[in-house]
A and B are shown apart, each in its own frame.
Chain A
Amino acid sequence: MCRLSAIISDSYFSPMENIMALETMKEGHDGSGLGLVLRDLGGEFENLKEFPILSGICSEEGLKTMDEYMVSLGFKTKYLWDPEINETGSGIRSRGFYFARAYEYPDWAEAAGEKVKFDLLAQTRLDLREMGMEDESITVFSFWPDLITLKEVGDPLDVGIFFGLEQKSLLAKNILAQGRQNTNYAINLYACHPFFLEGYSTMTNGENTAFIPIREFLTGRGLPGYVGYRSDSEVFCHILHYMRKQLGFPLKYYKDVITPLFDREMTERTDRKAIELIKRVLRPLTIDGPNCVIGTDIDGTIFMVQDAKKLRPGVVGGVPGKYALMSEVCGVDAVIPERDRSKDVFPMKYDMVMINKDAKEIKIWNQKNGSMSTVN
């Protein structure tokens, strides 16, 4: 089973904290891969908040192609983070040039609005992905301001050493980490969680049995970002993107989209008519579990939801200023041992746990009675 490790904090921390938490949960995963999405960056990127960062891996040839393409679009490199790869210490073979490169927008886009800029970033990432797909010369995971994605196959701790993360050159306030390669489909870095699309990211534990109908619904929307799907879990990220960006729903409705209530359970909801309609119209987006989803909204709010039968583990705990969302309690213990464990939250079938960017408190949205409670 996959193990998930997410941390949100009001101060910068190293992704090694996530990795060490995965290490404590090692009985539950096979150490076959690591994916990281770091957001709200510190360290070397602390003063580069507004510059979009392209994260990925290139071969020598791919690097040339990518540079030429970025120059042709008018992007100018602002800052480059290329980790000191430690092959011998980690036992992982390097695929080439790993990078997180911050760019200045093309001149014409500098004054443009957010929508134009974000569309440009999304399209550029998709173009690069397409350019490097066939010969695997370019692999790009994300292109977004204040956000870096790292992925590699191998034991999470080894992958951390491979990237030299213990040197603390990369810090962030919001990090999603997942320790295991996708097993239901072929192993491929694009299949490795967490997934990212235009500021939204998710990682998932469990098999998505409704994958094909969901994928077909998403690809039918005619939006360029809904591609890939090397993993059945990628759709969780795209569903989040679709309901937030395209439909403009508040975040808490993610729960109503992926696990709608039975009609008989809706009686306490004041927005019953709206959720009845959503259930009908977005019927193909219903997941059928078993899944635990952890994700981050475009505004930096981190959340955890469970499938409608609550078949997967998940716990949220911490102290004001730092919270961990983990598959297991031992993972939370590894990150925040000093917390009051009696306040740990185990989201059940109706719950959606959310923690805002400021990491002050845990908010629990109860889908059944439509109430929001807080724990701090």
Chain B
Amino acid sequence: MESKERLDVNGQLTLKELPYIIQWDANKCTRCGQCTTVCPQKAIEPSVTVQRVVTSEGPLPLPQSVRQVSQGIKQVTDIERYCVGCGVCSQVCPNDAIFPEYNPVNKFAFHKNQGGVPHKRGGRRNSTETSTMDKLQFSRISMLTDPALDAGRHEFHIRTLLGRNLAPENMPLTIKDDELGLDEMAFIPPTREIFPIRIGGMSFGALSPHMWEGLAMGVAYLNEVENIPVVMCTGEGGMPSRLLKSRFLKYFILQIASGYFGWDEIIHAIPDMQEDPAAIEIKYGQGAKPGDGGLLMAFKVLDLISKVRGVPMRVDLASPPTHQTKYSIEEAVAKMITSMSMAFGFRVPVYPKISGSQTATAVLNNLARNPFAAALTIDGEDGGTGAAYNVSVDKMGHPIASNLRECYLNLVKIGKQNELPLFAAGGVGKTGSLAANAAALIMLGASGVDCGKYIMQAAAGCLGDEYNRCNLCNVGRCPKGITTQDARLYRRLDPDKVAERVVDVFKAADTELKKIFAPMGRSTQLPIGMSDGLSINDKAIADQLQIKFAS
């Protein structure tokens, strides 16, 4: 038996406690050291080990024990340097000698609060359960009673409206000689006809310049060459002044959030704007971390970000959990919507974005009465974030499908479902089914959806997943160069390639939406609220969503 002293290692962890364990093959390894160089966590380090090796030389078996010194790599058990499973080591290894393996029995959560600091990270909710969106089936297919449409032959108009619509009874129309006219002096709220899948708010700051540029180029190409009017939200933090004054501004939704970062620059650029932005999004909440503010850490606040946001370099930029001016929805929120509308001459739709919540209908009902509220975006619990406490990401929030449906049915009840469009976000394309998730949410009542994580994975190869993989967005060490301001890292990402992939994604989604809508006999209008097209193999969910149960 070992002495008691040798086992007194309470402060140390074994590899089994960690979420990922490095599998390393000494026979394949060339000892080049690249894996230890690229590891963003310094979770592996070169090691020298002494081993006892039994060898036998000569014609007869004469085994003898030899002590041998060998070089290799070793995974550290320091919880602050835990392996995040990103797999960049595998990517650089010339011989496939190393890869991280998920450890399902890890005890990470028991230890990652050293010094009294809870675990913070980027990414998404670590839940591998199938979302309601992914359980929904499109089951009302036009069969022999009527001919279905042909996705390849008929013309499809996959577009939605972003912006407030008047109540039909309030249309400022005149009739003269059996012809309708428009009273041009009357105020008609602005709307934009856009592709129903948007790129949701990811800030210039959270994203690297190459990633942001790639997205922006892809969006511009989709609009101007492919005729797919995709719009993209800036997230908090504004955008480069050069773009604010460019003709491309119309493809962007400018977000204002609780830190108001970037808005000094935006307001000053208004006189020089050639185009109006697509819309203004007032962010009151984020699905991934409801009730939590934002934090752009000091080491991401370098030259470019400090200029765009109008702040000094190398300081933490904290956005408060709520807008400091927000004391009641009737006054403060309404005033903010009106003020933002006024700043852009009432030519730009202004709408709030909130976290999915049981209180969403209260917000909705208030917005329904506000003639300047252009829409409502609801962001569900499966949304992503650049930085948050783990407990917020994993445990806070509301699933989007039921929250959206509840809000839509509420609008139906008061007859305003076409007046106040709902946009749904949070986990759209979580398992790769971007178009199917979008179509399902549209049929539940969304006018459109936002995607964020999907586009990061599809366009830039983001490594995050529901097994806590990578999730280093908050510390600026993104191994793919997506969420970092470190030029050594973001040079790994080619903005042209990102743009190409953005175009691929939306062209494919456009085709897939047609393939879903055609057999259901819908082509000229988006089937918003066409809930009879959906079914689900779960009676309780079917009842809650008021759709068909089909097993």
Give the interface of A toward B (CB within 8 A).
Answer: 183-184, 206-207, 209-213, 216-217, 219-222, 242, 246-250, 252-253, 259-260, 262-263, 270-271, 273-275, 277-278, 280-284, 286, 288-290, 308-309, 311
Contacts and interface: CB of A to CB of B under 8 A. Distances in A.
B178 A283 contact: no
Interface of B is mostly: loop
Nearest to A276: B182
B345 interface: no
Contacts of B525: 210, 283-284, 286, 288
B523 interface: yes
A293 B161 CA distance: 28
B63 interface: no
Nearest to B161: A280
Contacts of B181: 271, 273-274
A250 B532 contact: no
B188 interface: yes
18 contacts: A209-B146, A209-B521, A210-B522, A210-B530, A212-B530, A216-B529, A220-B417, A221-B415, A271-B180, A277-B182, A277-B188, A278-B180, A280-B191, A282-B418, A284-B417, A288-B524, A290-B146, A309-B149
Contact of B169 (A212, A219, A246): A246
Given A212-B531, A281-B166, A288 B522 contact: yes
Given A212-B531, A220-B416, A281-B166, 12 more contacts: A220-B413, A247-B168, A250-B180, A253-B180, A273-B184, A275-B180, A277-B188, A278-B173, A284-B529, A286-B525, A288-B527, A309-B149
B154 interface: yes
Given A209-B142, A277-B171, A250 B522 contact: no
Contacts of A311: 147
A249 B174 CA distance: 9
Contacts of B147: 290, 311
B528 interface: yes
A213 B415 contact: no
A156 B415 CA distance: 39
Nearest to A370: B179
Given A213-B528, A288-B524, A309-B154, A248 B175 contact: yes
Which 9 residue pairs spanning A and B have beta carbons closest together? A220-B415, A209-B521, A207-B146, A274-B180, A273-B182, A286-B525, A213-B529, A250-B178, A212-B532
Contact of B521 (A275, A283, A289): A289
B412 interface: yes
B414 interface: yes
Interface string B159-198: 0010001111101010100111110100010010100000
Contacts of A220: 412-417
B207 interface: no
Q: Which of B146, B157, B416 has the most CB of A within 10 A?
A: B146
B145 interface: yes
A282 B173 CA distance: 13
B481 to A, nearest CB: 40
A121 B314 CA distance: 76
Interface residues of B, number: 44
Nearest to A222: B415
B460 interface: no
Contacts of A216: 412, 417, 529
B171 A278 contact: yes
Interface in B503-546: 520-525, 527-532
A285 B167 CA distance: 13
A65 to B, nearest CB: 32
Contacts of A183: 145
A280 B412 contact: no
A288 B523 contact: yes
Given A252-B178, A274-B181, A209 B522 contact: yes
Given A209-B521, A220-B412, A286-B524, A184 B145 contact: yes
A252 B175 CA distance: 13
Nearest to B177: A250
Q: Which of B180, B188, B520 has the most CB of A within 10 A?
A: B180
Contacts of A270: 179
Contacts of B184: 273
Contacts of A263: 193
Contacts of A242: 168
Given A209-B520, A250-B178, A278-B171, A217 B530 contact: no
A273 B182 CA distance: 6
Contact of A281 (B154, B178, B417, B418): B418
Contacts of A283: 161, 165, 418, 525
Interface string B254-290: 0000000000000000000000000000000000000
A270 B180 CA distance: 9
Contacts of A288: 521-525, 527
B532 A211 contact: yes
A248 B191 CA distance: 25
A249 B418 contact: no
A280 B133 CA distance: 28
Contacts of B416: 220
Contacts of B414: 220
